[in-house]
């Protein structure tokens, strides 16, 4: 292994900054943008998954969107999904022990020259890839990260060791975007907070608490997604919160949580299934 000492101060500063972020997409974007402080890469992708493990959003770093479109329209399903970035963490619907970073590296230079390699990877110049997932408190994957190298330089043991150090902490921070909610939670019991909202805002707040996505809310209420976001912005302003997590906590403040009567519900920026 490379004998360069582990940069603990930089790791600590990176994790502290990640922990200060209150939006899951912003968290993931910051994470990837600054990960190259420890692990150099040429291009990267983040895919956000809903409860049905379908991609509903993505953030690309140096990747042409046409490649991701091509991938999901065709190559993700080739060979029973053997090139899917989402299949390794789940088995028979249950979470598996994720391999260490060094076991997630793909050396595309020594693979059989099949259709995926020849027509998808080679034109992009991808030679090495690695990645990881972040999960909710159900251990369901919610964000997949893929990083690529276009040069013939392997990911070093030193880099992969740092990734192994970072991942458990990033996983715990990411789970904080999910909060406990009582099974029989009733938003109308929160008299003080709910009274600040208009009838429409109250309607949207209730749907958010039930796990509806912004798209689903728009469809249900026959309004545009932009209008939904506008109402959510007003809700945040009136209740003095800056994220969906804070909103849930604020709305729950008038309800008593019983340990034996708690279930888990994701904050809505993880986008429930349509």
Just give the CATH number of 8-176: 3.30.450.40
Please enumerate in sequence order all residues whose Cβ is within 8 A of that of 233, keeping only pairs 6 or more positions apart, or say none: none
Ranges of each domain in the chain: 8-176, 179-270
Predicted confidence at residue 169, as pLDDT, reads: 96
**Cα distance between residue 166 and residue 35, in whole Å:** 10
Please state, in angstroms and rounded to a whole number, the distance separating the CA atoms of residues 106 and 264: 35
**What pLDDT was estimated at residue 81?**
65
Q: Which residues pair with 181 in a beta bridge?
A: 263
pLDDT tens figures, 36-78: 999 999 999 999 987 677 888 899 999 999 999 999 888 887 7
Task: For residue 21, report the phi and psi dihedrals to the nearest 5 degrees.
Answer: -85, 135
Tokens of 204: 């949207």
CB 32 within 8 A of CB 59: yes
Query: Integer distance in angstroms from the first to the last C-alpha of the chain?
Result: 47
Q: Helix, strand, coil proportions of the chain in percent (round to 5)?
A: 50, 15, 35
Would you state the pLDDT for residue 31?
Answer: 96
- Give the number of other Cβ atoms within 10 Å of residue 90's Cβ: 16
Beta-strand ranges (E) seen in 53-193 are 55-61, 90-91, 94-95, 106-107, 128-135, 141-149, 178-182
The architecture that CATH gives domain 179-270 is Orthogonal Bundle (1.10)
> What is the per-residue pLDDT for 170?
96
State the residue for tokens 């408190």: 137
The most distant pair of C-alpha atoms in the chain lies apart, rounded to whole Å, by: 64
Q: What is the pLDDT of residues 191-228, one digit of tens each?
A: 466 778 898 998 888 777 766 677 778 877 888 888 98
- pLDDT tens for the chain, residues 1 to 274: 445 789 999 999 999 999 999 788 899 999 999 999 999 999 999 999 876 778 888 999 999 999 999 998 888 877 666 777 654 444 444 444 456 777 889 999 988 888 888 999 999 999 999 999 999 877 888 899 999 999 999 999 999 999 999 999 999 999 887 765 555 556 665 546 677 889 899 888 877 776 667 777 887 788 888 898 899 989 888 888 887 777 777 776 654 433 333 333 334 333 333 3
Do 24 and 269 contact (CB within 8 A), yes or no?
A: yes
Q: What was the pLDDT predicted at 151?
A: 94
Q: Which residue has 């943008």 as its token pair? A: 33
pLDDT confidence of residue 274: 39
| Token pair in block for residue 172 | 């715990």
């Amino acid at each position: 292994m490379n004998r360069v000492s582990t940069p603990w101060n930089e790791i600590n500063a990176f994790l502290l900054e990640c922990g200060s972020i209150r939006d899951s997409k912003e968290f993931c974007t910051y994470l990837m943008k600054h990960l190259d402080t420890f692990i150099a890469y040429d291009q990267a992708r983040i895919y956000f998954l809903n409860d049905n493990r379908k991609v509903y959003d993505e953030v690309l770093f140096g990747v042409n969107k046409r490649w991701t479109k091509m991938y999901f329209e065709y190559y993700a399903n080739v060979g029973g999904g053997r090139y899917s970035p989402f299949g390794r963490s789940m088995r028979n619907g249950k979470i598996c022990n994720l391999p260490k970073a060094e076991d997630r590296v793909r050396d595309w230079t020594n693979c059989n020259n099949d259709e995926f390699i020849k027509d998808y990877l080679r034109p992009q110049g991808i030679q090495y890839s690695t990645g990881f997932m972040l999960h909710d408190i159900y251990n369901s994957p919610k964000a997949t990260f893929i990083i690529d190298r276009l040069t013939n330089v392997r990911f070093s043991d030193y880099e992969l060791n740092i990734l192994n150090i970072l991942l458990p902490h990033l996983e715990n921070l990411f789970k904080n975007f999910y909060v406990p909610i009582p099974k029989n939670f009733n938003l109308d019991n929160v008299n003080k907070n709910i009274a600040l909202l208009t009838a429409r805002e109250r309607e949207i707040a209730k749907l958010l608490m039930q796990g509806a996505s912004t798209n689903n809310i728009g469809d249900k209420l026959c309004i545009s997604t932009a209008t939904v976001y506008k109402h959510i912005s007003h809700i945040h302003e009136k209740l003095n919160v800056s994220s969906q997590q804070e909103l849930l906590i604020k709305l729950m403040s008038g309800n008593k949580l019983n340990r034996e009567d708690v279930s888990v519900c994701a904050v809505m920026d993880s986008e429930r299934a349509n």
